[in-house]
């Protein structure tokens, strides 16, 4: 009897685990076509960038080094312990409480591929990243119902010549089957992470960030060549097939470099559960100033929308190319928040904590134009006060 009961229980449990979620529970999942996102990124937490926290970086063996790859290679056996210390302290539940009080309802969380898979020959550290990701996302979901975007921000070989993409000066991910195989291992691990959550309905998976195989044009559509776009598209399809097989209700967020959504959109079927992520920056490449930023923000917002799929602004900040002024910040921040909310599904600012100390053109340093936490502390945030976009801008 006992054995039979145990067997039955086991069989039932296995069946429950194996059963693909039906469309009947789709309602519990996030519908990006109606969601109003008000988010921030958690940059510099599970995936390091010198620019986000240069004092910490330099004090921990990174002086003169440009990426986490060299940082870890330089630190050797100290890399793991220092990163574990970072994971446990840079973002805590206190941050989540503060974000929730400020109205944040979505977190985009960059992770390196090394959080999900170990690649032979790479000095990048694979440790407790997913354990910390679990703890913080569980807390944000349980306490506040915050939605989590799991962002695989780098891929093997490097996706964009920047340290943040896996390796400074490299974009060897393109047309590289070995790199692709390991990328899918990372994706499979991230899918498993989401499916094993107590709240699989509170996650979106983003498998790629800013793929660039023509770095000279970084920030512009030409940054991704046609051949590069073909490679990216086949990867997107591969990821979609994997997510659909595991749980078709999980939205997949596609970041198509700086090509417009209208370039990607025709390649997908209406039934694909996708949301596009566009990144809008103003610190380089266009004649922006703090004074004219509202006009650029409005133009980008008005150009972003797609008639078939939802669009989300996954990264933006308010540093202008020249003549930055501190006093303009509340207006520019709120104009952006208002514009993204009006014309897209909303946004996530880059980033929650940003301590870059390089002087900008005009007043202040980078941190003053990229650090959302400071805006919360200063009481700046009130999207309603943002400048309205007019049809002519």
Ligand X SMILES: *[C@@H]1O[C@H](CO)[C@@H](O)[C@H](O)[C@H]1NC(C)=O
Q: Which residues bind ligand X (CB under 6 A)?
A: 119, 121, 156-157, 172, 176, 178-179, 289, 322-323
Residue with Cβ nearer ligand X (85 or 178): 178
Nearest CB to ligand X, comparing residues 74 and 176: 176
- Which of 127, 210, 220 has the alpha carbon at shortest distance from 163? 210
Minimum CB separation of residue 152 from ligand X in Å reads 14
H or E element that contains 199: none
Closer residue to ligand X (CB): 178 or 267 = 178
Residue whose token pair is 């996706």? 159
Beta strands at 106-111 and 203-206: parallel, antiparallel or unpaired: unpaired
Query: Which one, of 300, 288, 278, lies nearest residue 206 by Cα?
Result: 278
Between 53 and 172, CB nearer to ligand X? 172
Nearest distance, CB of residue 179 and ligand X, angstroms: 4
Rounded to a whole number of angstroms, the minimum distance from the CB of residue 18 to ligand X is 33
Please name the residues in contact with 60: beta carbons below 8 A apart, sequence gap of 6 or more.
Answer: 71, 75, 82
As measured in angstroms, the least distance from the Cβ of 175 to ligand X is 8
Residue 240, CA distances (Å) to 82, 189, 268, 305, 341 in order: 35, 14, 10, 22, 27
| Residue 178 vs 234, nearer CB to ligand X | 178
Of 25 and 178, which has the nearer Cβ to ligand X? 178
For the chain, the residue count is 393
CB count in 10 Å sphere of residue 20: 10
Q: In this structure, what are the phi and psi dihedrals at residue 324, rounded to the nearest 5 degrees?
A: -70, 140
> How near is the Cβ of 87 to ligand X at its closest, in Å?
23
CB of 351 to ligand X, least distance (A): 26
Q: If we measure between CA atoms, which residue out of 106, 135, 45 comes closest to residue 355?
A: 45
DSSP one-letter code for 312 = E
Distance CA 147, CA 202 (A): 5
Closer residue to ligand X, CB minimum distance, 121 or 266: 121
Looking at beta carbons only, is 179 or 318 nearer to ligand X? 179
Shortest distance in whole angstroms from residue 118 CB to ligand X = 11
Q: How far is the CB of 249 from ligand X (least distance, A)?
A: 32
**Cα-trace Rg, the chain:** 21
Taking the complex as a whole, the smallest distance from the CB of residue 328 to ligand X amounts, in Å, to 12
Sign of CA dihedral 69, 109, 161, 172: positive
Q: Check the CA dihedral 163-164-169-174 and report its sign.
A: positive
For residues 148 and 206, is the Cβ–Cβ distance under 8 A? no
Under 8 Å between Cβ of 259 and 229: yes
DSSP 8-state secondary structure symbol assigned to residue 58:
I
Nearer to ligand X, 200 or 228 (CB): 228
């Amino acid at each position: 009897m006992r054995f039979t009961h145990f067997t039955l229980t086991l069989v039932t449990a296995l069946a429950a685990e194996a059963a693909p979620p039906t469309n009947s529970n789709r309602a519990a999942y996030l519908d990006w076509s109606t969601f109003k996102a008000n988010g921030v990124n958690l940059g510099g937490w599970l995936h390091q960038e010198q620019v986000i926290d240069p004092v910490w970086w330099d004090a921990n063996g990174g002086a003169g080094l440009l990426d986490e790859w060299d940082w870890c290679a330089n630190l050797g056996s100290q890399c793991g312990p220092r990163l574990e210390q970072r994971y446990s302290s840079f973002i805590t539940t206190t941050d989540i409480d503060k974000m929730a009080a400020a109205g944040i309802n979505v977190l985009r969380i960059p992770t390196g591929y090394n959080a999900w898979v170990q690649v032979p020959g790479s000095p990048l550290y694979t440790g407790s990243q997913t354990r910390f990701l679990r703890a913080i996302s569980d807390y944000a979901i349980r306490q506040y119902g915050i939605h989590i975007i799991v962002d695989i921000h780098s891929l093997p070989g490097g996706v964009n010549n920047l340290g943040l993409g896996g390796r400074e000066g490299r974009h060897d991910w393109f047309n590289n089957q070995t790199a692709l195989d390991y990328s899918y291992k990372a994706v499979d691990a991230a899918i498993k992470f989401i499916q094993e959550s107590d709240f699989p309905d509170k996650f979106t998976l983003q498998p790629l960030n800013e793929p660039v195989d023509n770095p000279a044009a970084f920030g512009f559509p030409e940054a991704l060549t046609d051949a590069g776009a073909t490679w990216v598209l086949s990867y997107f399809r591969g990821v979609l097939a994997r997510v659909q097989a595991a749980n078709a209700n999980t939205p997949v967020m596609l970041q198509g470099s700086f090509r417009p959504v209208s370039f990607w959109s025709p390649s997908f079927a209406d039934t694909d559960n996708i949301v596009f992520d566009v990144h809008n920056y103003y610190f380089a490449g266009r004649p922006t100033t703090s004074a004219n930023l509202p006009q650029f923000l409005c133009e980008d917002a008005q150009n972003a929308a797609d008639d078939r799929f939802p669009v989300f602004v996954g990264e933006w900040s308010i540093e202008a190319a020249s003549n930055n002024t501190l006093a303009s910040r509340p207006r520019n921040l709120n104009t952006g928040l208002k514009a993204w909310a009006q014309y897209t599904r909303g946004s996530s600012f880059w980033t929650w904590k940003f301590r870059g100390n390089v002087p900008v053109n005009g007043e202040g340093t980078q941190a003053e134009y990229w650090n959302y936490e400071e805006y919360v502390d200063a009481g700046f945030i009130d999207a309603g006060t943002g400048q309205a976009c007019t049809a002519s801008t």
